[in-house]
Structure 1
Amino acid sequence: MGADMMTAALPEILLPLWVSIKLAAVTTACLLLLGTPLAYWLARPSRLSAVRRLKIVLMGVIALPLILPPTVLGFYLLLFMSPNFGVGRWLSAHGIPSLAFSFQGLVIGSILYSFPFYVQPVYAQFARIPSSVLEVATLLESRWYRRFWVALLPQARVGMLLGALVSFAHTIGEFGVVLMIGGSIAGETKVVSIAIYEQVEALNYGTAHLLSMLLIVMAMLMIALIATVSRHMPRASS
């Protein structure tokens, strides 16, 4: 209800910016919940060779969005969400609305596309934790989840903050993935990058300039924050 009231109160020109900020915030929150334990598991040494090989494969899969064109990922996600394939078929059979061309679908696509931008810095921070810290944490706390929450998460807080900032900034500027999955539904899936493209296509350069300047200001603020956090990375690993 609060989000709907916020959307209704905004001028039409700022709706895409609000959708982008909401998408970036939800995506970043999901990455914090999903990506942090995954990064920890990937960073911990494994005795079994099969597990080590699995981790290598998984790291490669996570890094795919860094290489693949966004439209490729968006295309296959669109097929996967459509009523004729994958999850979309299951949802349709159970009377659940399709994820394609919905905000929820955008969130899923953004999480997958931004995964490497969050997991890699968090992985690096967990990998830097000395083995002595792990041994002391094991002695002080036998329950793994308490050990993870109390002793290990604080050691990786700088990497988590950096990953969250980079993921948020990356999601704000998404274009290809969100266009393929969400299209351009005002107030629902039309993010600011798509709005700029449409304004240029319609020769409304004034509106395109305004939206672009808003993104530039946000980008400069995010860069300043990321640079500030990055300066603390060596201190956190010492």
Structure 2
Amino acid sequence: MSDGLIRIAMWSGPRNISTAMMRSWENRQDTVVVDEPLYGPYLATTGKKHAMYAEIIEHQGKDWRPIVKHLTQELPEYASENTSIYYQKHMSHHLTNDIELDFVDQLRNAFLLRHPNDVLSSYLRKHPRAAPEDLGFPQQVKLFNRIVERTGQIPPILESKDILMAPETMLTKLCNALNVNFDVAMLSWPKGYRDSDGIWAEHWYNRVIESTGFGEYTPKENRLNNEEQRIADQCLPFYEKLLEHKLT
């Protein structure tokens, strides 16, 4: 089952369509997924008291090393015999400074973007405050630069609104960039929870579990106050650097 296995890492920030993307890939017969595997070590290292803080750490552990070994050498226990793709949904801000990034070299990496104004506005509905590091933009650029320096190639980058506006077109482009075949099964999926969902699913995934596909793109009104806008503006150069290379 591991012979010729393709390991894909999608690096997103919070409050994006990363879980819908995970559903999309999981609906392929050849793919198994994992949901934010480095969340536990991130919480343990930073001490950030997110919802279900203790439960997540207990479930995933504090040490990133065995997790990284699993991501690069093993498969989830719920993987089927037909699995040839291991899709990993990652949050870029989970890459704390103590994590050695060599494991990334063994993955086919891609990046998922959303405008900082939209990310922050959505994030603040669940969290009382935020810094750029909480939104993942600096970490995305750091990882992007490392991949380019190591490989000499630009990893695929997608913006969420482009996927929502043309899911088949953009997913086909992503699959081509990752050197895998596009599967029409990626365009829809059944409602409900999955065995692969993080244990935080009941807290965060209310909309996703009711979804059967990608929703329509709806532009958001910017309602950030001056202080919040200052934080979003700090993220803008990171976002714009990656945006230059997005798939179109």
TM-score, normalised with respect to structure 2: 0.26
Between Structure 1 and Structure 2, whose CA radius of gyration is higher? Answer: 1
Higher helix proportion (structure 1 or 2): 1
Higher strand proportion (structure 1 or 2): 2
